[in-house]
Amino acid sequence: MTRMQRLNHRPTQSHQEVIILMPDDKHLSRRQLIKSAGVGAIAATLAACQPAGSGGPGYQRPYSRKPWVAPRVSMGNVIREIVGHRPYRPSGFVVKSESFDDKVVVHNYGHGGGGISLSWGSSALAVRETLGMTPGRVAVIGGGVMGLTSARLLQDAGWEATIYTRDMARHTTSNVAGGEWGPYSVHDPEVSTPEFKAQIQFAARIAHHAFTNLGGPDYGVRWTELYTLSETPPEEGGEFADLYPFRVDLQPGEHPFPAPYVRHELTMMVEPATFLRRITEDFLQAGGRFVIRNFNNKEEILALPEPVMFNCTGLGAASLFDDEELTPAKGQLVYLPPDPDVDYLTIGGGNSNLYMFSRTDTVLLGGTFKLGDYSRNPEPEETERIVSEHQRIFSGF
């Protein structure tokens, strides 16, 4: 399921606080999650004050004092085009341990388009696989967001972690993620099992709780408005509805978007460059070290001196650990100069999974979700499509 189907198909700090390992832990209740975000009471008050039937300029944006400002979308304003490959598995991401003689490998990979969103949660589930072991040396294979968050949680649990990676975080797929918090585009609900659906619920809530503890410029985490555009009425509720503390469905005439249905929510934006850089610094300050190395097969990994290893190789797990289900989901991104006047995000409004994310480093336009496509070069026709469809979305501003 793609991220863009969220309206029409929802089924599908302290780092010590992140390792919440038991599913019945009361810290994961909806009430406390919203309370920890610091916006629950505000959301309830503002929702009660929501103007009814106000149209166009009369609609008051409850989390901004500014009117909607259109991003400056044009081919002449494009500063960068880039391709990333999401590690997608229809049945969902893998978190499990596996024994190889005297070695233990803990797998934590295959998160599709939800890697950053699920990072702390999935990594907490992976670290739970070490319960009962005596902390010692551990090798983390992969330097993207899953490798970094796994390594940080292992350090908090007393392990001496080394990250072995081909690329530092700034050169990984994690660094070109969109960054809006939303654990979508992760699995196909027609294929995934009830057990996996429970697993992603648990991981999402741990991750959400962790990110609310990291809010602010240091980690690049902030709350912002999200407008999801749809041709059909949005569903009530949904699997992660309680993690979006403010929600209202706008009526025609209450917004400037060329869509009959618009859902207005409050969400978190995680700026990948800032977040990954800060987690890298935290890892190093806690005594971690990096070893730049490329592995050709799992035998080379198993030859490492550490007795416990975390496989956070993303798409690389397809060849390294013979995962035939793992496939790339190619995404193409278009970067525009940052615009502080654009203080909201949009999803939808076109013929594919479009999104506009306004960040401090860029106005980011997406996107594509091409399964099985390993090509690395940006496609000019895709760039033109992404730009032209966003021009149409904002043409009425």
Cβ–Cβ contacts within 10 Å for residue 37, how many? 21
Amino acid identity, residue 114? G
Q: Are 142 and 135 in contact (CB under 8 A)?
A: no
**What pLDDT does 351 receive?**
77
pTM of the model: 0.84
CATH code for the domain of 371 = 3.30.9.10
Q: What total of structural domains would you count in the chain? A: 1
**Cα distance between residue 89 and residue 110, in whole Å:** 6
What single string gives the DSSP state of each residue in 115-184? HHHHHHHHHHHHHHTTTTSPP-EEEEE--SHHHHHHHHHHHHTT-EEEEEESS-GGGSGGGGS--B----
**What pLDDT does 253 receive?**
83
Beta bridge partners of 355: 347, 366
Q: Are 330 and 83 in contact (CB under 8 A)?
A: yes
Q: Of 199, 171, 219, 23, which is closest to residue 110 (Cα–Cα)?
A: 199
Domain interval for residue 184: 3-393
SS3 content of the chain, % helix, strand, coil (to 5): 35, 25, 45
**What pLDDT does 59 receive?**
63
Q: Find how far residue 261's CA is from the centre of its chain.
A: 24
Q: Of 89, 310, 104, which is closest to residue 196 (Cα–Cα)?
A: 89
Tens digit of pLDDT per residue, the chain (397 long)? 444 444 433 333 333 333 333 333 333 333 333 333 333 333 333 333 333 333 344 567 888 888 889 999 999 999 999 999 999 999 999 999 999 999 999 999 999 999 999 999 999 999 999 999 999 999 999 999 999 999 999 999 999 999 999 988 777 777 778 899 999 999 999 999 999 999 999 999 999 999 999 999 999 999 999 999 999 888 887 789 889 989 999 988 888 999 999 999 999 999 999 999 999 999 999 999 999 999 999 999 999 999 999 999 999 999 999 999 999 999 999 999 999 999 999 999 987 789 999 999 999 999 889 999 999 999 999 999 999 999 999 998 8
Give 88's contacts (C-beta < 8 A, 6+ positions apart): 110, 112, 113, 185, 186, 326, 327, 328, 329, 371
Q: Are 50 and 62 in contact (CB under 8 A)?
A: yes
**Burial (Cβ within 10 Å: 0-12, 13-18, ≥19) of residue 69:** middle
**What pLDDT does 62 receive?**
80
DSSP letter (8 states) at residue 55: -
The owner of tokens 């602010």 is 216
